Amino acid sequence: MKEKYYITTAIAYTSRKPHIGNTYEVVLTDAIARYKRQRGYDVFFLTGTDEHGQKIGEAAKEAGITPQQYVDGVAGEIKDIWNLMNASYDHFIRTTDDYHVDAVQKIFNKLYEQGDIYKGEYEGWYCVPCESFFTQTQLVDGCCPDCGREVKKTKEEAYFFKMSKYQDRLMQYIEENPDFIQPESRKKEMINNFLKPGLQDLCVSRTTFDWGVPVTFDDGHVIYVWIDALSNYITALGYAPDKQPELYQKYWPADVHIIGKDILRFHTIYWPIMLMALGEPLPKQIFGHPWLLAGADKISKSRGNAIYADDLVKLFGVDAVRYYLLCEMPYAQDGTISYENIISRYNADLANVLGNLVNRTVAMQQKYFGGVIQPKTDGEFDDELRAAALQAASLCAEKMDAFKTADALAEIMNLARRSNKYIDETMPWSLAKDESQKERLGGVLYNLIESIRFLGVLLSPFMPETAASIFKQIGATETSWDSLAAFGKTVAGTSVGTAEPLFARLDEKKMLAEIEASMGQPAAKSEPKKEAKAEKTEVEKKAEISIDDFAKLDFKVGKVLASERVEGADKLLVSQIQIGDEVRQIVSGIAKHYAPEEFVGKKVIVLTNLKPVKLRGVLSEGMILAASDKNGLRVLTVDGDMPDGASVS
């Protein structure tokens, strides 16, 4: 029997169409769900929409329609976008679904009947956009501490949940289950900001509006939207206090809730306490992912910086958008998005590295052997390529098990770069000129096709359409994760398909101009920095620093894997540099002193904790050390066999 795996997104709030930051969560969750299915798990992937609350009621009134009509429209938009992004969910729940409403009412009744909910009067501050209550001391400059917007003074009859009753039990659970809240920084935030100061009883009903789940035993009260919304994780499985069907018994507790860091409090405090009060198991893990920002700002329609998934798909395709979201978002820190960055990543990784590898390999197989795959052979550089493929599979699994999708994709792209390097090392075009090297040529191409097969399997959770195209082009028959246990599953004698470009290189200037024309305003992009002058007329004496200042600098050895000129900048090279288990993209003003092919393979010294910047629109994630004088510039390199990733001190 397969091991079960229950994974959920937070349900999307139906106040308006979701922007790309909202969409990131469902793409992230989908990649994890697809990966788990690859590994043989029986996966249940839940997503859906949160459709009650004061904010929605007000939006519907402003639109001149009923709240139900309003949420029907927005929920349809959300589902369309989730489908567009190839989200492979198993169930899409709406909190207006009859079965959910019925179960929420029964949950509220049970908590009331057992004394965990009591009637009182609420007086305090309420943030309508966040659907959250706050005391005066919790406000920041008189505004909501979560979103920074205006709060409303509220006084009304209400029911309260005895949160304080379960505080010690929750603290004990968190201490005994160190992986319950991830990343670690999120756990510390919840403990220090909410649990240690002490929990107050939570207001769990409203009477000043009526768009919500009604309290069955007290007319005029509707259940607090977060009690309603959080319950979806169990009601979607058919749970109610009076029934626990087979689906619930099979999949609950959830293996992980994937949520945005801004709603961590509700999921790590309110939700576990609700479950404790109901006598139900707690989810195994809650992962609070960071935000996707537009520059330094949170994405929102009100800020005028909203970017939408469907617009991006029209420009770049589904898989390119999925790739950008999953490779650009760090594990714990916020990521950024702009049209300029997407184009740069698209060209550097998808067109130049992956697309070029697949296209030229299939084309050579067709040209030299009529498409028929030859038997594998053993020769120089073969063992290194095989080891790289097996290592990529191992490291990718390790990163995905920890939800580090950006790191997993970095390992996959490392294999693609190593495969391109293998082409340069073995030079198939040169082998083809010598009839005596025909067998070796066939073996080289076999190894390349097998490496590409590895790439297709590894990319399947992230870029399912691209993986399918890769399999078709190389004629792959073994596409399961288990087939990565050994290098050599490609079957000699079978034929490859037609070489078709996976990703055509984009003209950045032309595309940005077209985007700006369609938007009627400049496309969001980074400001280019002025290039530093290469020469100095005199030696500058810098201010002295302490050993503590020096200790803040993190220097490591890096190996240059690939390098190319930055279009439109005659001084700049953009290089992909291996530093331990990651690959950094670094832009350096060395193009007048090093040709790209001359720079590849060098062991250089990299300042790794320099804040990322954009140079001529290209992301640079560190600095390469170099020395210069009036006679020129030379990069500082490392002698001997010092491994990449080694610290320099």
> How many angstroms separate the CA atoms of 236 and 100, rounded?
7
Please tell me the predicted confidence (pLDDT) of residue 545: 65
Please tell me the predicted confidence (pLDDT) of residue 539: 41
Nearest to 448, CA basis, from 364, 348, 351, 563: 364
> How many angstroms separate the CA atoms of 260 and 243, rounded?
31
The residue to which tokens 């191992």 are assigned: 394
Please tell me the predicted confidence (pLDDT) of residue 598: 67
Please tell me the predicted confidence (pLDDT) of residue 528: 41
Nearest to 223, CA basis, from 50, 9, 90: 50
Q: How many CB atoms lie within 10 A of CB 293?
A: 16
CA angle in degrees (0–180, nearest 5) for 265-267-273: 95
Q: How many CB atoms lie within 10 A of CB 335?
A: 20
Please tell me the predicted confidence (pLDDT) of residue 524: 56
CATH superfamily of domain region 338-485: Isoleucyl-tRNA Synthetase; Domain 1 (1.10.730.10)
List CB contacts of 544: < 8 A, sequence separation 6 or more: none
Count helices and strands in the chain by DSSP H and E runs: 23, 26
Which run of H or of E encompasses 422?
helix 405-426
Nearest to 361, CA basis, from 450, 430, 437: 450
Nearest to 365, CA basis, from 483, 494, 199, 221: 494
CA angle in degrees (0–180, nearest 5) for 236-239-241: 150
DSSP code of residue 17: -
Determine the CATH number of domain 547-648: 2.40.50.140
Please tell me the predicted confidence (pLDDT) of residue 181: 96
CA angle in degrees (0–180, nearest 5) for 90-96-100: 65
Averages of pLDDT over runs of 10 residues in the chain (649 residues) are: 95 94 96 98 98 94 96 97 98 98 98 97 82 77 83 88 95 95 89 90 92 96 96 98 96 98 95 98 96 79 83 97 94 88 95 96 97 94 97 98 96 97 96 96 98 98 98 97 97 95 94 85 49 38 61 82 73 83 82 74 87 76 82 76 75
> How many angstroms separate the CA atoms of 72 and 235, rounded?
20
Q: How far is CA 338 from CA 209, 257, 284, 305, 578, in A?
A: 39, 28, 35, 10, 25
> How many angstroms separate the CA atoms of 224 and 25, rounded?
24
What are the residue ranges spanned by the domains of the chain?
338-485, 547-648
Q: How far is CA 60 from CA 64, 98, 328, in A?
A: 6, 20, 36
Nearest to 423, CA basis, from 353, 372, 474, 484: 353
Helix (H, G, I), strand (E, B) or coil at 625: coil
List CB contacts of 644: < 8 A, sequence separation 6 or more: 556, 557, 558, 559, 578, 579, 580, 603
Please tell me the predicted confidence (pLDDT) of residue 630: 54
